[in-house]
Homo-oligomer: A and B are copies of this chain.
Amino acid sequence: MVKTTSTTPSAAALILAGGSGTRLWPRSTDERPKPFLALGGGKSLLAETFDRAAELAGPDGVFLSARVSHEELIRRELPALPEGRLVLEPERRNTAPAIALSALAVEEVRPGATLVVLPSDQGVRDPKAFSSALTRAVEAARSGEVFVTLGVPPTRPETGYGYLETAPDDAGEPVRRVVRFVEKPPLEAAERYVRSGNFYWNAGIFAFRIPVLFSAMEELCPEILAAARDAHAARKAGDAAGFAAAFARAPKLSIDYAVMEKARDVRTVPADCGWSDLGSWEAVHDFRAKDAAGNASEGNATLIGSSGSLVLASGRPVVVIGLEGVVVVDSPAGLLVSRKGASDDLRRFVEKEIAKGKPA
């Protein structure tokens, strides 16, 4: 047994160390996917997520769910990760199976714990506000049969995100009831959501007591929980083949689709904390500190007569002259020079040309 020294004894955190990003080529690659990049300008997103999780649950209350193939990358990025905290999936089967398998591992170390799930590829500009919101979510989850999400007040009519709709009658409350999950809305709907004050971006961050997750899964997606239980037992018995075979039986479903959207009681803690999914170079530009001309740059970059641009150098000097609103990203894997707002073109190019023939 591992001795635990967490700051909130009954809380644990589960970091989903997946995430990729065809919109973040050439930095994000199969060999070094998004969580391992320092997109916010400091540490890697994974290391920053670990720090935020450790503040809540203590360093040994932090668990990671990751692909087997990323084990080495993770151990290099988080050398101080305590023993037994890395839950490796034999293959990617979306978030519901991964969370079920990990929750079984957490349950052994911290039985009955309240667990917070955190994606590892996001940025937070105001860690203090984020931390308060997370603590509030854990407290709300601890009280009953409930899933408590973090809700980010939308600042623009983003059509690429999921939204949480809350009931108008608890506006202004620190915890609000979620009445509906909305996936990537059309622009007009998104504009309405931003104006309404009752919609939040779904950051994919949520807290629950582990028994609450298991009983919801037994009701809503029993085959996922059964597959996870079999896989967990096989792993404990040292049966690698049985582990892989059992996990492969779990349907590939997201936790939102398999559980959250159907759960009886879902709430949200509004969290105005400078959250970003850092899902494109435009989002990275928005997230970063900028100079008076609206430029964000990194490394040996010189901008002359240029504005509103993101320039990430990588060793060699990069010089940008006379341009407005461009993204320049230098990387060993390649070089991107793009007008801002063309991330769909980039995604299509990467899917077609760079990632072709590679498994997802």
Q: Are A334 and B316 in contact, with the CB atoms below 8 A?
A: yes
Q: Are A342 and B305 in contact, with the CB atoms below 8 A?
A: yes
Q: Which of A313, A330, A333, A334 has the most chain B CB atoms inside 10 A of its CB?
A: A334
**0/1 string, A332-360, CB within 8 A of B gives 1:** 11111111011001100100011000000
| Chain B, residue nearest A311 (CB) | B337
* A326: Cβ under 8 A from any B Cβ: yes
* A319: Cβ under 8 A from any B Cβ: yes
* A172: Cβ under 8 A from any B Cβ: no
Measured between alpha carbons, how far is A345 from B302 in the docked complex, in Å?
12
Measured between alpha carbons, how far is A349 from B320 in the docked complex, in Å?
11
* A80: Cβ under 8 A from any B Cβ: no
B-chain residues with CB within 8 Å of residue A326 when the two chains form the complex? 323, 337
How far, in Å, is A108 (CB) from chain B's closest CB?
Answer: 46
| Chain B, residue nearest A352 (CB) | B302
Q: Are B345 and A322 in contact, with the CB atoms below 8 A?
A: yes
Q: Are B319 and A336 in contact, with the CB atoms below 8 A?
A: yes
How far, in Å, is A341 (CB) from chain B's closest CB?
Answer: 8
A335 and B345 in contact, given A317-B354, A353-B302, A354-B317 (Cβ under 8 angstroms)? no
Q: Are B304 and A317 in contact, with the CB atoms below 8 A?
A: no
* A87: Cβ under 8 A from any B Cβ: no
* A318: Cβ under 8 A from any B Cβ: yes
Question: Interface residues of A toward B: which range?
Answer: 20 to 34
How far, in Å, is A41 (CB) from chain B's closest CB?
Answer: 20
Q: Are B316 and A338 in contact, with the CB atoms below 8 A?
A: no
Q: Are B334 and A319 in contact, with the CB atoms below 8 A?
A: yes
How far, in Å, is A232 (CB) from chain B's closest CB?
Answer: 42
* A328: Cβ under 8 A from any B Cβ: yes
Of B313, B317, B322, B339, the contact of A342 (CB 8 Å cutoff): B322
A339 and B316 in contact, given A304-B345, A305-B345, A349-B304 (Cβ under 8 angstroms)? no
B-chain residues with CB within 8 Å of residue A318 when the two chains form the complex? 334-335, 337
How far, in Å, is A312 (CB) from chain B's closest CB?
Answer: 11
How far, in Å, is A342 (CB) from chain B's closest CB?
Answer: 4
Q: Are A339 and B322 in contact, with the CB atoms below 8 A?
A: yes
Q: Are B338 and A319 in contact, with the CB atoms below 8 A?
A: yes
B-chain residues with CB within 8 Å of residue A25 when the two chains form the complex? 319
* A321: Cβ under 8 A from any B Cβ: yes
B-chain residues with CB within 8 Å of residue A305 when the two chains form the complex? 342, 345
Measured between alpha carbons, how far is A154 from B354 in the docked complex, in Å?
45
Measured between alpha carbons, how far is A333 from B326 in the docked complex, in Å?
22
B-chain residues with CB within 8 Å of residue A349 when the two chains form the complex? 302, 304, 319, 321
How far, in Å, is A174 (CB) from chain B's closest CB?
Answer: 43
Measured between alpha carbons, how far is A346 from B337 in the docked complex, in Å?
18
A334 and B322 in contact, given A302-B353, A305-B345 (Cβ under 8 angstroms)? no
Q: Which of A317, A321, A341, A342 has the most chain B CB atoms inside 10 A of its CB?
A: A321
Which A residues are closer than 8 A to B by beta carbons?
Answer: 25-26, 302, 304-305, 313, 316-323, 326, 328, 330, 332-339, 341-342, 345-346, 349, 353-354
Q: A305-B342, A322-B338, A322-B342 are in contact. List 4 more A-B contacts (CB 8 A).
A: A318-B334, A319-B335, A322-B341, A323-B337
